[in-house]
A and B are shown apart, each in its own frame.
Chain A
Amino acid sequence: MTDLTRLSAAELAARLTRKEVSSVEATQAQLDRIAAVDGDIHAFLHVDAEGALATAADIDARRAAGEGLHGLAGVPIAVKDIVATKGMPTTCGSRILDGWIPPYDATITQRIKAAGLPILGKTNMDEFAMGSSTEHSAYGPTRNPWDRTRIPGGSGGGSAAAVAAYEAALAIGTDTGGSIRQPGALTGTVGVKPTYGGVSRYGLVALASSLDQAGPVTRTVLDAALLHELMGGHDPMDSTSIDAPAPLVVSAARRADVKGLRIGIVSELNGGGMGVEGFQPGVMSRFHEAVELLTSAGAEVVEVSLPSLEYALAAYYLVMPSEASSNLARFDAMRYGVRVPPAGADDPSAEQVMASSRDAGFGDEVKRRIIVGTYALSSGYYEAYYGSAQKVRTLLARDFASAFEQVDVLVSPTSPTTAWTLGDKLDDPLSMYLQDVATIPANLAGIPGLSLPVGLAEEDGLPVGLQFLAPQKADDRLYNAAAALEKLLEDKWGGPMLAQAPDLEVAR
């Protein structure tokens, strides 16, 4: 019998439609897989077996009754714990929201529920999405299914690991500086950050409002496109939502043709410099082989320079903490979240309770970024730091605009290195920040980006990701190019890259 957990979402959806398998069977298979491997992987913070099976049974009944259903109806999904889910805990990986159950659904959640996808549970993440390793979760780290002594990337390490470990075929991620794409690269999965405004932010707990964007986390490009289509499109509840027809990502993923496509290699991300101590050799060799495959399939490849990229990482690590320090002011221990009175104070004031609750509820990385953001926004420093960082955004947007006059898509490695060992960068926040050098430019400029697995680095046998970037609202170009490359690579490998991942120990 087929292992249902190994199917792509598209294949499972087809079998559900043909009634060869039921959603209850598929959902139970995923729950069994989670029970077997997640004690070790820790991709999930919360599993809702009962709710998922109830949705599955409902979809099966409606399908049996001949009702017209969404194409992905009955396909189980995992949701990052930063997305509000009514009746299901939403903690953002933080103690300050321990046990919080939202009274409403995010727009994404509403769309998932309306389409009839059973929600398996909530996935682990760096606290408030601040981190590149998922080690900053207050509830313990997620482990990389390729090597459980290593990090899965972050902040969305839970969603990426869940998909890589066959605990779900579909997951929701959010990407403020690479939190979908970098874990995709480090776990050998597909991750997409849509154009800013392409997916509603209503009901996402805000990190940096001008950078945050939710997107799909999957094992195949087509699955990502199917989930992107479900999540995306205009939402009146988000004032920054793009009020225009969404890009046709599914047909683009099915087209998969790069003949005549103009592809630009980002010079500044082609191997070194950028304050990063060079890109890992195995990352660069897989990247260059992938580019050669694209060339052999008829793409025209040139090098393109983005001169302001030199300042992008610094600008990001000002804009993001500034916006975060403001957004996280809402956690004041008054209306929701934990309230921890100061020790030893008799009849403390609201302000004292607020300060002690925030000290008890926030972890080190969150405190660090709030302090940096508070500094950058304080009178006397505002222009020099936050103001200058905003100017870098303008320069970077201009660089991208001129690059996209020459080429249709840009490519770079998604991450300078493969997955590192748990604990390696915890004491050196700056070295952790430098890992985001290739992913943050897309967030600053609001353009879409996709990470595709392109092989294993020879020196450590760990996954490498290639990132495609496209102009705003041209997300379809990512899917076309990535689907073409995915096919070329799978033809070469004789199957998907994840088939090379080690089997996980199964708890019984």
Chain B
Amino acid sequence: MSEPVKGISRADVSHLAGLARIDLSEAELDHLAAELPAILEHVAVVQQAAGDDVEAMSHPLPVNNVFREDVVVPCLTPEEALAGAPASDQQRFLVPKILGED
């Protein structure tokens, strides 16, 4: 079992927010940095519960691949699929630039 680092800093929260793609304000970072240690301390007790011999359970029921016949079934029209898009163009989702210009 790996050893968790004690505590969580404001810089950690800022890094996590970056990973989660949430542009938190300075006030939000302050707030979460103050709040998270208590929550993480509480949930950390799970590390004392089980040894290496206990299997992890990802799902309440056995999960199997489910197959169906490879046939065409009705699906959304392009108009329906695009109906909730913030922007669209020529039957495509229109998104901001993905790469830098230079």
Q: Which residues of A contact B (CB under 8 A)?
A: 100-104, 196-197, 210, 236, 239-240, 242, 275, 308, 310-311, 314-315, 317-318, 325, 329, 332-339, 341-342, 347-356, 358-359, 362, 364, 367-368, 370-372, 374-376, 378, 380-381, 383-385, 387-395, 397, 429-430, 433, 444-447, 472
Contact = CB atoms under 8 A, between A and B. Distances in A.
Contacts of A367: 22, 24, 28, 32
A104 B40 CA distance: 39
A100 B42 contact: no
B17 interface: yes
B71 interface: no
Interface in B65-102: 65-66, 68, 76, 80-81, 83-87, 93, 95-98, 100
Interface SS majority for chain B: loop
A394 B55 contact: yes
A349 B96 contact: yes
Interface SS majority for chain A: helix
B60 A394 contact: no
A397 B49 CA distance: 14
Contacts of B80: 103-104
A388 to B, nearest CB: 4
Given A367-B24, A371-B20, A472 B87 contact: no
Contacts of A447: 60
A349 B96 CA distance: 6
Interface in B10-52: 12-13, 16-25, 28, 31-32, 35-36, 38-40, 42-50
Contacts of A350: 95-98
B2 A380 contact: yes
The winner among B3, B57, B95 for most chain A CB atoms within 10 A is: B57
Contacts of A385: 4, 43-44, 46-47
Nearest to A238: B66
A110 to B, nearest CB: 13
B19 A314 contact: no
A370 B61 contact: no
Given A350-B96, A355-B21, A367-B24, A392 B86 contact: no
Contacts of A364: 28, 31
Nearest to B83: A103
A429 B32 CA distance: 11
Contacts of B87: 339
B93 A100 contact: no
Nearest to B38: A430
A394 B66 contact: no
Contacts of A380: 2, 5
A388 B50 contact: yes
A339 B88 CA distance: 12
A405 B54 CA distance: 21
Contacts of A275: 42
Given A103-B76, A392-B50, A314 B86 contact: no
B39 A372 contact: yes
25 contacts: A100-B84, A308-B49, A311-B48, A311-B49, A315-B43, A317-B39, A332-B21, A335-B93, A336-B84, A338-B86, A339-B86, A359-B22, A364-B28, A367-B28, A371-B16, A372-B36, A374-B19, A375-B16, A384-B3, A385-B4, A391-B56, A394-B57, A395-B50, A444-B60, A446-B61
